[in-house]
Structure 1
Amino acid sequence: MVAVVVPFAAIVLLFPVALVLLVVSLVGLMAQDRGPAAFVASGRAFEVPARLWVSMLPLLWMTFGSVQVGRVLRPGRGGAWVDRLSFGDVLLLASYAVLVGLWLVFALRRRSVALTPEGITRWGPLGRVEIPWAAVAPAQQALVSHFLARWLHLAVAPGGVRRRGFVPYVDELPLQELDVDGRFLGDAIEFYVRHPERRAAIGSAEEHRRLFAELAEWYAAARPVGGRVGR
């Protein structure tokens, strides 16, 4: 039987791939809240999908994990792989596996945030948050920053958030992860906070067109999180 030896240098070539993915991810982070001024009308909710760069993060961690495996498993005599795993290597590879799993779960979700007739739902890798419309105070939204990323802060009444699992910043929406214009999202939330009679129609294509048209009129006046619709 002929033994096939994979050169360690071939695995090291994965480093440029990791750097490219890292640059693309950082560019996506810097382009936060510059998505389209539109939702995905699913019929039952206005959904906001995750950005494309979010789905690239699992590839980044998988590349780092492959490089780590190549560092500790080298071909020995006769083409057999030699196991040189230390306790630190095991912990590092296990952390890669956990990170890849969490980000894959997040990236494969069809939606990241959704506006429903009942309120606002936000999903994360380890749970979700539900905020009823009645718990959101009007005209008190604000853009805040956490670790160079921008979030849309909502003024939520104490006890108004229902959390399942672990989700950080339960009263904020991560704009850097959402494929939507941040100002459009903020004004849409403000609109439904002020107009409860319109919430039952959330999710329909007709309501989406009406929302777009009416928000265009809002921008003639100063908005708490205002801006123009579209590009």
Structure 2
Amino acid sequence: MSARAARLIAVPFALMTFALRVVADFWVDPLALPLRPWPVSLAATVAAGLAAGLLPLGGYWLCTRHAWRRPAAWHADANRGRFVADLTPRWAGPQAVLIAWFSGGLVPDERVPGTDRVRIADLGVVTDVWIVLAAIALVAGVAVVLAGRPRLTLDPGGVMLQSLVTRRRFGWNDLVPGMPPPPAKPSPRVVTLYRRPPDASHGPFLPWRLPADRLHVDPAFLALSLRRYLDHPEHRQAIGTAEEIAALRDSAASPAPPS
């Protein structure tokens, strides 16, 4: 299964989570309310809420677990001459499920007087606001998955990082060579580049932190790729080709020279 397919599968699981959370709040919780003693009722209510999130998350993992491993490779876009790393499924699925779970809990509810039934709370315009917020949160969670953000792109001109609403790009000559160093641990949260200040003759280098834990590329391979193009400008024109992917893998497999 491709990483993109694994991300897209997160969408139905997110919708399932939203539906299960609403079912838990409006139909399962009323069944738990009459249970005695009260700790049993509370435990049943909490279990129903947790199950609404954990069951879809477990199902997503079972369907996509083989795509969670981040490869020592880029997606090569030969037509545009670039390497691309999108949002990794290991982040996309849990993120979408968590947002959907919280959005389902935003729908306000209240007990029907004199019964154990639950209904949407009658709070006037406040109810409408909460329902709209729930819908916005759910749509935002799905949009992040569909957009595959954050996305990191390397091309002969430089490096670009795109989120859902922002984009930052720096040319290779704007960045400090020799960076980033190999990650000190297998799964670092960030890989840090350093960029030159706007006035190259004044001020310290400025850190630019790339969200390595959310990108579908092995962090060590990411760091090696960036160092290669910062230290060896002659390789930049080959970015986007299968041959350059092979060269990067050969470089990754080679033992590091002694310091």
TM-score range normalised by the length of the shorter chain: 0.5 to 0.7
Q: Give the residue type in structure 2 aligned to 1:63.
A: W
Larger relative contact order (C-alpha < 8 A, sep ≥ 6)?
Answer: 1
- Shift of residue 42, structure 1, vs aligned partner: 1.4
Secondary structure in 2 matching 1:179: coil
- Segments of structure 1 that go 5 or more residues without pairing to the other structure are 1-5, 26-32, 161-168, 224-231
More helix by share: 2
Q: Superposed, which structure 2 residues align to 1:48-67 within 5 Å?
A: 48-56=85-93, 57-67=95-105
- Shift of residue 123, structure 1, vs aligned partner: 1.2
- Shift of residue 151, structure 1, vs aligned partner: 0.7
Matched, 1:132 2:132: no
Work out which of the residue numbers 173, 189, 213 in structure 1 matches 2:210.
173
Cα 1:94–1:47 shift into 2, 3 Å: same
Work out which of the residue numbers 198, 216, 221 in structure 1 matches 2:235.
198
Structure 2 match to 1:210: 247
Structure 2 match to 1:68: 106
- Shift of residue 137, structure 1, vs aligned partner: 0.7
Q: Are the counterparts in 1 of residues 180 and 226 from structure 2 also a CA contact under 8 Å?
A: no
Cα 1:153–1:15 shift into 2, 3 Å: same
- List 4+ stretches of structure 1 deviating above 3 A: 10-15, 19-25, 73-77, 79-83, 85-103
Structure 1 match to 2:144: 106
The two structures, once aligned, show a CA RMSD in angstroms of: 4.0
How many residues were matched structurally? 198
Structure 1 match to 2:162: 123
Percent identity of paired positions between Structure 1 and Structure 2: 24
Matched, 1:182 2:200: no
Q: Quote the Cα distance in structure 1 between the aligned partners of 2:178 and 2:129.
A: 47
Q: Quote the Cα distance in structure 1 between the aligned partners of 2:123 and 2:253.
A: 60
- Shift of residue 74, structure 1, vs aligned partner: 6.2
Q: Are the counterparts in 2 of residues 152 and 175 from structure 1 also a CA contact under 8 Å?
A: yes
Work out which of the residue numbers 55, 70, 95 in structure 2 matches 1:35.
70
Q: Which has the higher Rg, Structure 1 or Structure 2? A: 2
- Shift of residue 19, structure 1, vs aligned partner: 4.0
- Shift of residue 55, structure 1, vs aligned partner: 2.3
Q: Quote the Cα distance in structure 2 between the aligned partners of 1:86 and 1:190.
A: 58
Q: Give the residue type in structure 2 aligned to 1:36.
A: P
Structure 2 match to 1:228: none
Cα 1:75–1:201 shift into 2, 3 Å: farther
Q: Are the counterparts in 2 of residues 21 and 60 from structure 1 also a CA contact under 8 Å?
A: no
Structure 1 match to 2:257: 221
Deviation readout 1:105-152 (Å, 9 max, x if unpaired): 3322246111111111111122111121111111242569xxx97111
- Shift of residue 76, structure 1, vs aligned partner: 8.2
Q: Quote the Cα distance in structure 2 between the aligned partners of 1:149 and 1:103.
A: 24
Q: Quote the Cα distance in structure 2 between the aligned partners of 1:181 and 1:222.
A: 23
